[in-house]
Structure 1
Amino acid sequence: MATSHPEFNRDTEGLDVAKAFSDGIRNKTIIVTGVNRGGVGFSTSQAFATQSPACLILAGRNLHKIQECIDAVKQDLPHVSYRALKIDLSSQKSVRAAAAEVLSWSEVPTIDIVVNNAGVMCVPERTLSVDGLEMHFATNHIGHWLLTCLIMPKLIKSAEGKPKGTTRIVNVSSLSPTVATMRWSDINFDKPNKELPEAEQPPYAMLEAWGFSDCRDRSYVPLDGYNRSKVANVLFGIGANERLYGKHGILSLAVHPGIIQTELGRDFDEEQLAALAGMRTKGIFIHQTLGAGASTSLVAALDPKLKPGETINGKENYGSFLVDCQISDSATALAVSSSEAERLWVLSENLVKERFSW
């Protein structure tokens, strides 16, 4: 399995991807979550808007910020229909209200592409959501998973009579799946890390490189909370394909968008900022433009060559995770495991107290 454009890479701009796959955008209805002017959600929305979608739904917590984004894109591209959707992904009640609003829009009968882009990173202290879940997991995984499941009737409607893989769900992950796994035995970070089963212990060297200390004795390390939720983003896609691709032709993929300076790092403290500066000096991290931060999501949303992951050379779900606009096999085995994906799906249903079958 390969992509249509092997020449696309970490420096490719989202706009160029949108132009290459303009047929996949024209007259489509697209949702992008986590949209604010300084973020990847904005550049992703902007790139989609250039190729005449029927409707672009921008979702986020702050309607004022979303409207700012709509106004900015509309200035250059006034012919697209834009909608703002208020959603707090950390609250299941808010997610349910937003999904009900989307389902109520009779003039928006289908949803063709969902880009689950919003996220929180490195919440300084262990924080539980209103539903009692660790904040990264609640926001980055459960909120997106629940929203997608609830609006599924409109995705299924979109997929009817079209080639398989036309309707898509894209989960914006990170590089976390290349180093991390799920924390099944302690999803709310109550136990010290050293007491976890070996397979669930965090990548200590990586956390220390980011400026965190005493990681074995701590139960919550901010970056570890983020990492686990980003593994869930990949497993969500694998579980979704199992349920949706064969029956409805809906394809779900996860991506690492790149290293981009956005508000996502707003909670870094002095240790993390110093560690990051050091990694940049050594060339470990090289910043990409906001436009380049959109490109891998657009490839995942649009490239007709992509399909559900396959087992290749004993590696499960090769093709389910993209980096730098190309398929990547860099995720840990447990971050792309079908059995881990099933386990996450069941846990997610239990946590929202609802079963989904389509």
Structure 2
Amino acid sequence: MIPQHLINKSLSTHEEFDDKTEAADVAKAFPRKVLGKTILVTGANKTGLGFSALQAFASQAPANLILASRSPGKIKECIDALAAEYPNVKYHALNLDLSSQKAVRAAASELLSRDEIEAIDIVVNCAAIFGFGPAGRVLTEDGIESHFATNHIGHWLFTNLIMPKLIKASAKNPKGATRIINVSAGSPMSAGIRWSDMNFEKMVKDLPEDERPSAFLHKLFGIDINDETVFTYLEGYNQSKVANALFTVGINTRLYEKYGIASFVLHPGVIMTELARGATDDQIDAVNKQPIVRKTLSQGSSTTLVAALDPKLTDNLSTQEPLVFLADCQLVKLPPKSSSKENADRLWDLSEELTKEKFSW
């Protein structure tokens, strides 16, 4: 549950939208924000949030939907289902493995070369991994902890590489209509970045006090930690999801005033998807015992649609402390560790270092 005092409904067009709102109803509320647009969604998977968002977008006649996934088979399954219901939309497949910087660069290069996709109006970074289970820390081929590499670095690099097509869209759209949406989790409400130990090599007792994981939160997921714990999948996931929020702040700082490109980040809610496919029975039982309201895929994707389409959200982006995080279809205030410009700039610098790439437009 999101504390009510942190929610600001006055900054959205539809104060009545909440945790029960369906994605299709949000799309219907903003039809002109979808009509004729080109929208890209990562994490195309027929049983996931990405597909639910794609369905809602498709219902309002976008010109193009780009489906990105590391699985060509899952992309085809999604396109087949969408085309059967909405045959007048043009669908485009993009093979994208976010865990590999080499693969991300290849996907971005391919997309930039496609003449039929002149510009991209909305990007929804929805793909994610959640490494349930006892396997322990996994490093990618780039030497980065897998959650951070996939959920943050992959999206950060891909989004920045395809920015020319977003900038082109922003030239014809009203300010704030071209958007980058990052699907996060509840993590930014309580977690942070392990700045002193990004790859999880230290024991808890050797970390600064403000970087130590919460034993209480781990208990909710059926995980016991102590002073000698080095890595848990939950901490890896939490760190990557906080990075989604700080990435959002960084985008707005660099692109909103200059190009009118806006970014929002969101918590879709608790939904059973393939993200939890590696969970043990004990872990699922531990989560199921918590007094948490579960959402359907459509209810979870409704916040994605609000973040992508509601024009009123951008009214606060030029204020001293803009709100960029949504939950249950409304803007929510985040703590400084997951929303400050200082931490966002720190993460941006780290992302440039890890990818050996600097972007300026």
- Which TM bucket (shorter chain)? over 0.9
Q: Which residue identity lines up with residue 342 of structure 1 in the other structure? A: D
Summarize the Cα distance change of 1:278–1:340 in structure 2 as closer, same or farther, 3 Å threshold.
same
**SS of aligned partner of 1:307:** helix
Partner of residue 9, structure 1: 18
Shift of 1:333: 2.0
Q: Assess if the C-alpha contact under 8 Å between 1:128 and 1:134 holds in 2.
A: yes
1:342 and 1:246 map into 2 onto residues whose CA distance is 17
Summarize the Cα distance change of 1:311–1:123 in structure 2 as closer, same or farther, 3 Å threshold.
farther
Q: 1:321 aligns with which of 312, 322, 325?
A: 325
Partner of residue 291, structure 1: 298
2:183 and 2:316 map into 1 onto residues whose CA distance is 17
1:192 equivalenced with 2:199 (yes/no): no
1:339 equivalenced with 2:350 (yes/no): no
Partner of residue 311, structure 2: 304
1:203 and 1:67 map into 2 onto residues whose CA distance is 41
Q: Which residue identity lines up with residue 273 of structure 1 in the other structure? A: I
2:253 and 2:315 map into 1 onto residues whose CA distance is 9
1:153 and 1:318 map into 2 onto residues whose CA distance is 25
Sequence identity, in percent? 52
Shift of 1:258: 1.2
1:197 and 1:260 map into 2 onto residues whose CA distance is 33
Q: Which residue identity lines up with residue 307 of structure 2 in the other structure? A: A
Moved more, 111-120 or 159-168: 159-168
1:156-171 aligned within 5 A: 156-171=167-182
For structure 1, the residue ranges without an aligned partner over 5 or more in a row are none
Partner of residue 109, structure 1: 118
Q: 2:92 aligns with which of 78, 83, 99?
A: 83
Partner of residue 243, structure 2: 232
2:318 and 2:114 map into 1 onto residues whose CA distance is 40
Shift of 1:195: 1.1
TM-score (norm 2): 0.94
> C-alpha offsets along residues 316-348 of structure 1, whole Å, 9 cap, x if unaligned?
74421000000012x332011110000000000
**SS of aligned partner of 1:184:** coil
1:216 equivalenced with 2:227 (yes/no): yes
1:240-255 aligned within 5 A: 240-255=251-266
**SS of aligned partner of 2:84:** helix
Shift of 1:308: 7.4
CA RMSD across the alignment: 1.4
Q: Which residue identity lines up with residue 309 of structure 2 in the other structure? A: L
Partner of residue 99, structure 1: 108
Partner of residue 44, structure 1: 53
**SS of aligned partner of 2:142:** coil
For structure 2, the residue ranges without an aligned partner over 5 or more in a row are 1-9
Partner of residue 3, structure 2: none
Runs of 4+ aligned structure 1 residues displaced above 6 Å come to none
Q: Assess if the C-alpha contact under 8 Å between 1:9 and 1:324 holds in 2.
A: yes
> C-alpha offsets along residues 172-230 of structure 1, whole Å, 9 cap, x if unaligned?
00001111010111110000122111111112211122111134321101111100100
Q: 1:179 aligns with which of 167, 186, 190?
A: 190
Q: Assess if the C-alpha contact under 8 Å between 1:35 and 1:58 holds in 2.
A: yes
Q: Which residue identity lines up with residue 54 of structure 1 in the other structure? A: A
Q: Which residue identity lines up with residue 245 of structure 1 in the other structure? A: Y
Q: Which residue identity lines up with residue 246 of structure 1 in the other structure? A: E
1:95 and 1:223 map into 2 onto residues whose CA distance is 25
**SS of aligned partner of 2:313:** coil
2:356 and 2:268 map into 1 onto residues whose CA distance is 31
2:144 and 2:73 map into 1 onto residues whose CA distance is 27
Summarize the Cα distance change of 1:311–1:53 in structure 2 as closer, same or farther, 3 Å threshold.
closer
Q: Which residue identity lines up with residue 155 of structure 2 in the other structure? A: H
Q: Which residue identity lines up with residue 295 of structure 2 in the other structure? A: Q
1:357 equivalenced with 2:360 (yes/no): yes
Q: Assess if the C-alpha contact under 8 Å between 2:54 and 2:65 holds in 1.
A: yes
**SS of aligned partner of 1:306:** helix
Q: Assess if the C-alpha contact under 8 Å between 2:11 and 2:315 holds in 1.
A: no
